[in-house]
Structure 1
Amino acid sequence: MAGPRRRTVRDLRRNNRATVLRKLYFDGPLSRQELGPLTALSSGSISNVVSELVADGLLEEAGSVDSDGGRPRTLLRVAPHCGHLAGVDIGETRVRVELFDLTLNELARVDAPLPDGHHDAQDVVRIVAAGLAQVLDEAKVAPDALIGVGIGVPGIVDASDAGGTVGAVVHGQAIGWDAVPLEAMLRDRGELPPELPLFVDNGAKTLGLAEMWFGAGRGARTAVVTLIGSGVGACVIADGVPYQGSSGSAGEWGHTTLQVGGRRCRCGARGCLEAYVGAEALLERWRESGGHWTSTDEEGALAELLADPGAGELLDETAEFLGAGIADLVNLFNPERIVVGGWAGLLLGPRLLEPVRRAAAAYALRHPYAQTTIELGRLGPDAVTVGAATLPLARFLDEGGAAITSREPIVSGAS
């Protein structure tokens, strides 16, 4: 039986670089003197690591602050333009591609509707590849300047062969994808550098990662970030880390049963939560009650529903359904925070948040509910693409910037 792998000098160096990079990325700018107590590294280690990172172009000076009786202290920060990240959101009705600098400032974006709202895999791959080429061209960024591409998808991601001949495979029952080898299809087009890392994960999980790092979930260790769009999903955070389950399908909250024998869901089952609170289902319920809309897209149609004085009863019912679903999350996971996100969740939130809280309180156990807060996401409708871009960013930080300094291939797949 093999024993534990011995840590090498190279491992220690990488870990020290990663520690400093992470601290400066999330809490910078900071001085060398501040980094010591914040990272528990010695002053000598801080000096060596900072010198390396500056020489590699990963850190830059960001002004100075006065010190007590001494010379001003130079502040350091991660250099925004030392690398670039791409985030892709394969949504229910369109594909969004965004290009960011290393600090996630948006440089370019493309929104492309899916033909007739269908998810033909070849069409989706073509749209993603074209979108990546367009944002790189608009921002005048070379493909080899990308640290990686993150892709959020409406389905379950099997990354068991990630880094092999197939790479990440997507099972999207609601959109008709059965073991679609998305990563291999993108690479087979030959338009991306072969060594470029690709990361594929469920869209709700990429949104969850973004909200935990930069938005409403920041500071929580146990949370659930929900995505309410055309469909419904969730990202469960346990001890600060997204919970994947045994095969990556954890978080399919939209397909938990709300009513036995209830409405037919897109997945084929009956009574799923998604069949009551997803935007597509909510609009269908509005149509059945006599409502109608003129908009050609779901976002516009949902806005019309919210403006309809006659839709109050439908919205109250939807708030109770959503509150009951959130109560299940409270009872199952005992989170300290539940974040309601997704474009439809954010659109419905101002009208429904308070009745959702009341319904959740009525259906949840009192003690765990009293320890939970329910709030809206803070990153807006771009949270999935931001979260997708954090997949290669996370690997970059974990590797201490190796993706830039060495350009070595990194194993791809779900985070």
Structure 2
Amino acid sequence: MVGRNRRTVRDLRRANRAAVLQRLYFDGPLSRFELGPATGLSSGSISNVVADLLADGVLEEAGNVDSDGGRPRTLLRVAPGSGHMIGVDVGETRVRVELFDLALTELARAERALGPEGYEVEVVVEHIRDAVAEVLAAADLAPDLLLGVGIGVPGIVEHAAGRGAVVHGQTVGWDAVALESLLRERCELPASVPYFIDNGARTLGQAEMWFGAGRGARSAIVVLFGSGVGACVVTPEAEEGRAVEAGHLTVRVGGRRCRCGAPGCLEAYAGAEALLERWREAGGQPPRDADQESALAALVAAAEDDAVARGLLAETAEYIGAGLSDLINLFRPERILIGGWAGLRLGPALLPAVRRHAVAYALRHPAERVTIDLGGLGTDAVTVGAAILPLADFFAHGGRRAEPVPEEPQPAWRAALEDRTPR
């Protein structure tokens, strides 16, 4: 009997292909000679894997480099045109959709503003459908060439048998929304194109860890500040990151009512929506009919001359620092990165005070070992991170599309048992 953890030849071949692809993706172009030490594979394995990947069109030659007295060595790189991904950011004020090639070069983008109806599910699904069709048409790309569609959403994402990704977005009124099923019904994409749906903070974290200010860290927390607040925690035990609802850490007992319904959440003080409401309550006057981004910019500008706005931002920095201190004590990260459109807008003004308060509220040992900085990828990071989800899956399968797993009919005894279960 074959042991449960026994790896097959096919598994080893896929792992070797994945190792070569990832090394070339992050550090290429490289020669076959350089790939051996970089991946730990033998020269024979490198030759076989490279030959396969070249034949599949996933790799391409990228010129030559002189060797020490021998023949020039051919450089290899991942072929940018060998795959395409779509990244979707379901944000607070708009739905942003971008089409990328395998090198994550943007080929087309489309945006749809969210109007007064806000996060109404049908509207969001229509926006995604229309924007996906628009970017494919703009790039003249056949839909079946997509490796997948990655989508960052607010809330908790679970995967249910027969329904795919289900979103629990309490703060935006989404109660067990079967988003993947809805998209499959409405979007005109082939059934072979997979959807990868995850929390927007995790897609932000994925982007920062791959290409941004988190690269090289073994543990990091990437915090997304927008209308709300979320975070992605990356640890040696969870290298791909996991979303945590950092916005709903309690920073004040009996405090302001959060959008989630609970009192005293960090989001009720540091989320852009709540922060602007606090400014109005304090007598501030955001520009009339301005969107959240413009109003927040006005608040930051007003703080230069207005004591009320300045005091409000100082208080907000302390709340953010207190919230980050909880994350420091719980996870002891090497780095904390602040991102999201509101985080990047507030960060330059608040970062010194945030650092000071985070250290004051946290335990000394982990606080002395963490750095707190801004994310490095700008406001498109969620969309880029969403596109990385199908890209990472492509790499994990050794540069081949994942084959759908056929659903096996359930045993008769299980069907009979379910029929007897009270609904």
- Judged with a 3 Å threshold, the aligned counterparts in structure 2 of structure 1 residues 243 and 25 are, in CA distance, closer, same or farther, namely closer
SS in 1 for 2:64: strand
Contact 1:197 1:410 in 2 (8 A): no
Q: For the residues of structure 1 that align with 2:364 and 2:320, how far apart are their CA atoms?
A: 18
Q: For the residues of structure 2 that align with 1:139 and 1:292, how far apart are their CA atoms?
A: 43
Aligned position for 2:147: 147
Q: How does 1:7-406 map onto structure 2 within 5 Å?
A: 7-116=7-116, 118-161=118-161, 165-189=162-186, 191-239=188-236, 241-244=239-242, 250-294=243-287, 296-308=290-302, 309-310=305-306, 311-403=309-401
* Residue-pair matches, total: 400
More off after superposition, 358-367 vs 390-399: 358-367
1:408 maps to 2:403: yes
Could you list the runs of 5+ residues in structure 1 that have no partner in the other structure?
Answer: 245-249
Percent identical: 66
SS in 1 for 2:265: coil
Q: For the residues of structure 1 that align with 2:189 and 2:290, how far apart are their CA atoms?
A: 34
Contact 1:196 1:409 in 2 (8 A): no
Q: For the residues of structure 1 that align with 2:187 and 2:255, how far apart are their CA atoms?
A: 46
Contact 2:202 2:241 in 1 (8 A): no
Q: For the residues of structure 2 that align with 1:259 and 1:216, how far apart are their CA atoms?
A: 30
Paired AA for residue 78 in structure 2:
V
Tell me the CA shift for residue 2 of structure 1: 8.9
Contact 1:92 1:117 in 2 (8 A): no
Paired AA for residue 185 in structure 2:
D
Q: Which has the higher contact order (CA 8 A, sep 6+)?
A: 1
Paired AA for residue 183 in structure 2:
L
Contact 1:98 1:108 in 2 (8 A): yes
Q: For the residues of structure 2 that align with 1:242 and 1:325, how far apart are their CA atoms?
A: 23
Per-residue deviation, residues 320-349 of structure 1 (Å, max 9, x unmatched): 111111111111111111011111101111
Tell me the CA shift for residue 190 of structure 1: 5.2
Q: For the residues of structure 2 that align with 1:243 and 1:20, how far apart are their CA atoms?
A: 23
Q: TM-score scaled by structure 2?
A: 0.92
Tell me the CA shift for residue 115 of structure 1: 2.4
Give the greater-gyration-radius structure (CA): 2
Q: For the residues of structure 2 that align with 1:265 and 1:55, how far apart are their CA atoms?
A: 55
Contact 2:206 2:241 in 1 (8 A): no
Tell me the CA shift for residue 3 of structure 1: 4.3
What is the aligned-residue RMSD (CA, Å)? 1.5
Paired AA for residue 371 in structure 1:
R
Q: For the residues of structure 1 that align with 2:338 and 2:382, how far apart are their CA atoms?
A: 13
Q: For the residues of structure 2 that align with 1:279 and 1:3, how far apart are their CA atoms?
A: 53
SS in 1 for 2:138: helix
Q: TM-score scaled by structure 1?
A: 0.94
Aligned position for 2:410: none
Per-residue deviation, residues 27-52 of structure 1 (Å, max 9, x unmatched): 11111000001111111110111011
More off after superposition, 55-64 vs 375-384: 55-64
Tell me the CA shift for residue 5 of structure 1: 4.6
Tell me the CA shift for residue 9 of structure 1: 1.6
Per-residue deviation, residues 246-280 of structure 1 (Å, max 9, x unmatched): xxxx5101001111110010001110000000111
Q: For the residues of structure 1 that align with 2:13 and 2:330, how far apart are their CA atoms?
A: 41
- Judged with a 3 Å threshold, the aligned counterparts in structure 2 of structure 1 residues 335 and 85 are, in CA distance, closer, same or farther, namely same
